[in-house]
Amino acid sequence: MAREITYLDAIREALREEMKRDPQVFVLGEDVGVYGGAFGITKGLQEEFGEYRCLDMPISESCIIGVSVGASLRGFRPVAEMQFGDFITCGFDQIVNQAATLRYRYGGRVACPIVVRAPVGGNVAGGLYHSQNPESWFVHRPGLKVVAPSTAWDAKGLLKAAIRDNNPVIYLEHKYLYRRAKGPVPEGDEIVPIGEAAVRREGADVTLVTYGAMVMASLEAAERLSKEGVETEVIDLRSLSPWDKTAVLASLEKTNRMLVVHEDVKTLGLGAEISAVAMEERFEHLDAPVMRVTYPDSHCPFSAVLERENLPNADKIVDALRKLAAY
């Protein structure tokens, strides 16, 4: 049975259910205990599960992730919260040189089942240090899985899948969606498999590949363009590493045109990889060049007005879809 809850509440519900299901699951991070987290996601968990399973940590991302890696080697399943995804760089060594390589270094004899939750993204007037999208840093690294839910349903289901996975998972939760994305979420144990995309809207003219907060803008653009007779198929990747190449290429074979939309900067973003794969493996199906709508290769301004000017939006997506449809 499903009921309507927010993206934020879905994340909290997944944490609580997994902590109840498995005593080896615990949460750690800055202010996650007494305060309940910067955004209130872990509110009530310390009261319910105790201070050793909802663990307040010092302001040291390298410590938080390092403790998580060590605990995973002792059979625990830590869920580490970065207060803001921008500061995940302070724990970069522990993620890319330790967590990502453990199974390889030990010939598969050990696992590293950690989840690193990272609030990411802009359009919240967060300025330079609270608005970044770091996914391209991590999808480039073998040994890591990266997910980015766009709906409340997936926020819960993907987090459950990540916690149960024996590999380190970077869980990118978009701050803009916390209270704006509200929808049906099942009660109980509904898992969203890592690596499977979702077709959010069917169409025969253009394939639009996106994820995270850009799904909302992409669906708006697709509905607007439908009134002009262009039907866009919107694919929500949900999982960025591994990404669902089968679903994306199957859609391209049907529409023969592709647009990739993401909030990360353009150069060497995930859109570049998807575009390259499309051209390498389905060149004969392309009736137009693969196009991208992204954030420019720039930092996020402190001015909310300037930030909105830089962000991808429905107007920019509509313009790109029109160009593709005209080929």
Per-residue CA distances from 137 to 52, 132, 312 (Å)? 31, 12, 20
By C-alpha distance, which of 208, 217, 200, 31 is closest to 123? 217
- Residue 12 CA, distance from chain mean position: 16
Residue that is written with structure tokens 């995973």 in the block = 72
CB of 145 within 8 A of CB of 162? yes
Tokens describing residue 143: 């040994």
Q: How does strand 115-120 pair with strand 232-236?
A: unpaired
| Active site members | 130
> What is the secondary structure of 276-322 as a DSSP string?
HHHHHHSGGG-SS--EEEEE-SSPPPSSHHHHHHHS--HHHHHHHHH
CB of 20 within 8 A of CB of 13? no
For the four alpha carbons of 169, 266, 182 and 192, in that order, the dihedral sign comes to negative
CB of 209 within 8 A of CB of 258? yes
Element (H, E) at 46: helix 45-49
14 exposed, middle or buried (CB, 10 Å; 0-12, 13-18, 19+)?
A: buried
Tokens describing residue 318: 């509509």
Separation of alpha carbons 2 and 153, rounded Å: 9
Element (H, E) at 6: strand 2-6
